[in-house]
Amino acid sequence: MLTPNILVELTMKLMRQLRTGQSERFISKAAFARRYGIDTRTAARFLEDHGVPFRTFRWGKSERKLIDSAAARLSPTIPGKIYRVRQAAAMIGIPVGLLKSLKASGDFQVHHQLRTKPGFHELDIEAFIQKLKGLAPPNPADLRSPNYGRFAIVARGRYASVEAKAKIVRAVLSRELPVVGNVDGTVAGLLVSHEEFQRLFGTQ
């Protein structure tokens, strides 16, 4: 019969083999968090949400769980600056609430950062800005026409809820509400037709 001391010794030996023989494949949650530079609580939530497999070992009277890091399929953060939501919204030219809504719906796409790390990567911000600006035609109509309204008025106005504004942005992105030009080269300077806007959203 194996004594508690022998069990502890065998467990320690097995854990050393796991660490050295499998290149740190089986690691603790804390080690996983350190590897990817995230909070331990965030790591625990990610591992649980994704059902990452683990192995359980007895350590004296307690249990230790080592997760299979090879099954986590998590990539390190891509280098670049991470901005807070208020800074990111200001860079784009839209309200904070609208940016949060667009990120939650997937209209603001996240490609360049660990999805469990808070904030907005500069490359994702720039990609969204260029996506919106790219909607303006190369040969715009008469930008001085009173029939056009600036995107800034639509996005920042207080007359509509965040959900309504998000719907308008999605219509712009899908070209259902086409952009007819850009008065100053910024997202805020994009122009849309008053007539088309009223047709889509005037009765809401």
DSSP assignment of 55-101 equals: EEEEETTEEEEEEEGGGT--PPPPSS-EE-HHHHHHHHTS-HHHHHH
178 and 88 belong to one structural domain: yes
Quote the CA–CA distance of 4 and 111 in Å, as a whole number.
49
**Residue 14 or residue 86, greater confidence:** 86
How high is the pLDDT of residue 114?
Answer: 59
Domain harbouring 49, CATH code: 1.10.10
184 and 126 belong to one structural domain: yes
Average pLDDT rounded to a whole number, residues 187-201: 86
189 and 169 belong to one structural domain: yes
Quote the CA–CA distance of 99 and 155 in Å, as a whole number.
10
Does 52 map to a domain?
yes
Domain hosting 18: range is: 4-71
**Residue 124 or residue 201, greater confidence:** 124
pLDDT more than 70, % of the chain: 72
29 and 102 belong to one structural domain: no
Pairing relation of β-strands 179-182 and 120-121? unpaired
47 and 89 belong to one structural domain: no
**Residue 92 or residue 57, greater confidence:** 92
The confidence band for 91, taking pLDDT boundaries of 50, 70 and 90, is very high
pLDDT more than 90, % of the chain: 23
Q: How many CA atoms lie within 13 A of 125 on its CB side?
A: 21
Does 77 map to a domain?
no
Q: How many domains does the chain have?
A: 2
111 and 156 belong to one structural domain: yes
62 and 118 belong to one structural domain: no
The confidence band for 9, taking pLDDT boundaries of 50, 70 and 90, is low
How high is the pLDDT of residue 174?
Answer: 92
Average pLDDT rounded to a whole number, residues 170-176: 92
pLDDT tens across 23-80, in order? 467 787 788 777 666 667 767 777 776 677 777 766 667 777 788 777 776 555 556 7
Mean pLDDT score of the chain: 77
Does 76 map to a domain?
no
